[in-house]
Amino acid sequence: MSVIELHDVLDFVRGPATNRLCLLMERVKRADLTRQEVLALISVFESADQRVNAPTAPMLQLIPT
């Protein structure tokens, strides 16, 4: 599979996945999340946020910056 084909496949599934994420964010309440689930969500959003050069949350900085 070429890079272009892979990009096309990812674009195809991104829409439905984003829609599902929005639905889950409307249904799941913060009080229902465990500490591990919260940290997992933070780490996922932090990785996306770092692509736009935003600072990392202090609890996720494993090495001095």
Single pTM value for the model: 0.53
Domain of residue 8, residue span: 3-50
Do residues 27 and 17 make contact, with C-beta atoms less than 8 angstroms apart?
no
| 33 within some domain | yes
| 23 within some domain | yes
Question: C-alpha distances in angstroms, 17 versus 12, 32, 63, 65?
Answer: 9, 22, 32, 33
More confident: 3 or 59: 3
Q: What number of other Cβ atoms are within 10 A of residue 39's Cβ? A: 14
Instruction: Give DSSP secondary structure letters for the chain.
Output: --HHHHHHHHHHHHHHHHHHHHHHHHH--GGG--HHHHHHHHHHHHHHHHTTTPPPPGGG--S--
| 58 within some domain | no
pLDDT digits (tens, 9 = 90+) for 2-43: 888 877 877 887 788 888 888 988 999 989 999 999 988 888
- Can you give the pLDDT at residue 57? 57
How many domains is the chain partitioned into structurally?
Answer: 1
| 22 within some domain | yes
- Can you give the pLDDT at residue 27? 92
- Can you give the pLDDT at residue 11? 80
| 18 within some domain | yes
